[in-house]
Amino acid sequence: MPPPLTTGNTDAPLLTLPAPLFEAILLALASARPPPQSQSPSDSSEPAEDTLLLARTFAPLSLTCRHLCRALARADVWRVICLRAWDPPATPSAPADVDWAGEFRARARAAAYFLSPAPHACADPGVLQALLAMLHEGKREGESKNVKWVRGMLARGWPAEVAWRLVGWGRTGSAGAEEANGDARSEGRRGKKWAEVSDPAFDTSVAGGVFWRVVAYTGAGLLAARAPPAVRRVDLLAEPDSDGEEDMDLAGDADGERKRARRVARVRVYDFGYRRWGPFLLVDEGEQGGDADADQAPPARMLRPHWACLAAVRVVIEANLTDYGMQAELGRFRDLAGLSGCGAGAGRDDSDVREEGWDWAGVEGAWRRCMCWMDYRKVAQNNVRSPARRYRYHSHPMEAARVAPLQLRVAHYTANPEFPGWPDIYVEGEDEMMGGVCGVVGMIGRNWAEAEVRWSLRGQDGVAVEGVQTGGIGSAMGVLGLWTKGDRVQSGPIGPSWMWKLWQAHFYERRTGHYPAWDIRLDQGCACNL
């Protein structure tokens, strides 16, 4: 029997209990909930709030005496606490190899950051990385505790210090101070530039890359709810001489914020800079993937996803489908169900492995794909205007979208020397928008730490699609990317594309028919063709 927690103080009988029993008491405390009438932040039963409450309970408890500190330092206690709240690590390892206390602290820090009502000076890369790691560690089958935890935090909206990059809101000080100075709003506009919203340095930084990646996984989410009420917001994207104009989306409600986020995203999506070889960056450089001087695409090992562009693709398409009343198409993506599903890339099955390769990406099956486009004249004007004027120009867009079925099958495989055992998958199939379609699905990056799944498709009509499988191997969140005309000439047509795999229960209408294609005109004045 383990020895009791000895202490020189005979008035502390709790510390004389055997260590396992004392640990059981701590675990019972960790599972306990406050009564409903309390004012605890855990009243709403949100997992993230429970984590924060537990951290705020155990922190002072560990400072009570050295014996309690030692008890709370035991790995077994934190392992049980973590496994009750979250999914087990995706990579099997010995329990002793996992820093359970460190995992709890990182997630408690993330909860404190997201649930804090006060704005922070800047984004916290460690918090964003913890959020991304939880999504990657979530189990693929059934309901994921990790996904539920992240969903609960994001339901409150993005913190103001990163949300403004999505919608262009800025802060110039308290409302009272601005009322005393009538020029404060215009001065705030003049002091802020588009570069602060569309900032390549931030986009390619660690914090920026993780932030945009999480947005690509989850969508823009709620934005208006996180704006500090005592802070006057200004339009960072307005021209200095346009203070008298009323912005149709200036209101701080959720619908207005969603429209503003789409307008900001359109400026990035309909950019000729991505016409050459898709939404990618070079591994060793912070340059944008669409360098006009690049005549040939770099090798796959030198590419990495441009998550800022991919996040913009999701924001545009999600807002377009919402405006047309197609929320049902997006339901499982908005609640992050795709990250815990196996719709694509279900893993290797030796019984299905062919001699030359295997369908590790889950390519074969029925898909749906949404493509959006604007009249070419509007796209061209988007690229010759200043960025701020592009934004205001998109307040009344002429944009269209189409959702159509896509059936894919494996044609053959070729070995990928950078990733042995994970061959490039050559696909073919039928697409009601592109006619016959063919392409290749493979890994990009120099090693597994940088690896992502790239999709490259080309249709009979000359339309080419370059995209990245959101969530990595095994994710059913779909493929975000850009479409262009196949020749990819300078100043050619361009637009966002999102394709997702259908659940097996709806496998192409059980092969008895096909899903219809929907033409969506988001503006009655739009009459354009691909």
Instruction: Record the tokens describing residue 217, joined without a space.
Output: 């996984």
Nearest to 218 by CA among 142, 291, 156, 280: 156
The residue ranges of every structural domain in the chain are: 13-153, 266-521
Instruction: Record the tokens describing residue 384, joined without a space.
Output: 């010759």
Sequential DSSP letters for 442-509: EEESSSTTT-EEEEEEEETTSEEEEEEETTSTT--S-EEEEEEETT--TT--EEEEEEEEPPGGGGGG
Q: What are phi and psi of 120, to 5 degrees?
A: -100, 165
Parallel/antiparallel/unpaired status of strands 494-501 and 479-485: antiparallel
Instruction: Record the tokens describing residue 62, joined without a space.
Output: 């560990």
Instruction: Record the tokens describing residue 111, joined without a space.
Output: 């909860």
Cβ pair 297, 281 in contact under 8 A: no
**Euclidean distance between CA atoms 267 and 469, whole angstroms:** 23
**Euclidean distance between CA atoms 399 and 372, whole angstroms:** 7
Looking at the chain, how many residues does it have?
530
- CB atoms near residue 89 (< 10 Å): 15
Task: Give the pLDDT score at 344.
Answer: 46
- CB atoms near residue 278 (< 10 Å): 27
Residue 203 three-state SS = helix
The fraction of the chain above a pLDDT of 90, given in percent, is 13
**Euclidean distance between CA atoms 291 and 295, whole angstroms:** 9
Burial 316-353 (b: 16+ CB within 10 A, else e): bbbbbbbbeebeebbebbeebbbbbbbbbbbeeeeeee
Task: Give the pLDDT score at 71.
Answer: 64
Cβ pair 136, 90 in contact under 8 A: yes
Cβ pair 30, 56 in contact under 8 A: no
Cβ pair 339, 475 in contact under 8 A: yes
Residue 156: DSSP 8-state? T
Q: What is the mean pLDDT of each run of 10 residues along the chain (530 residues)?
A: 49 66 70 49 58 73 67 73 83 71 86 80 83 81 81 81 75 37 35 58 86 89 51 41 43 71 86 73 62 64 91 92 76 63 48 67 89 80 61 61 90 92 93 84 90 92 90 83 74 84 50 43 36
The β-bridge partners of 244 are none
- CB atoms near residue 39 (< 10 Å): 6
Residue 424 three-state SS = strand
Which residue bears the tokens 């790995």? 75
Cβ pair 372, 317 in contact under 8 A: yes
* CA within 13 Å, CB half, 352: 10
Task: Give the pLDDT score at 466.
Answer: 93
Instruction: Record the tokens describing residue 82, joined without a space.
Output: 């973590």
Beta strands in 249-353 (DSSP E): 280-282, 303-305
pTM of the model: 0.79
Burial 461-493 (b: 16+ CB within 10 A, else e): eebbbbbbbbbebbbbbbbbbbbbebebeeeeb
**Euclidean distance between CA atoms 334 and 477, whole angstroms:** 10
**Euclidean distance between CA atoms 206 and 195, whole angstroms:** 18
Instruction: Record the tokens describing residue 141, joined without a space.
Output: 């089958």
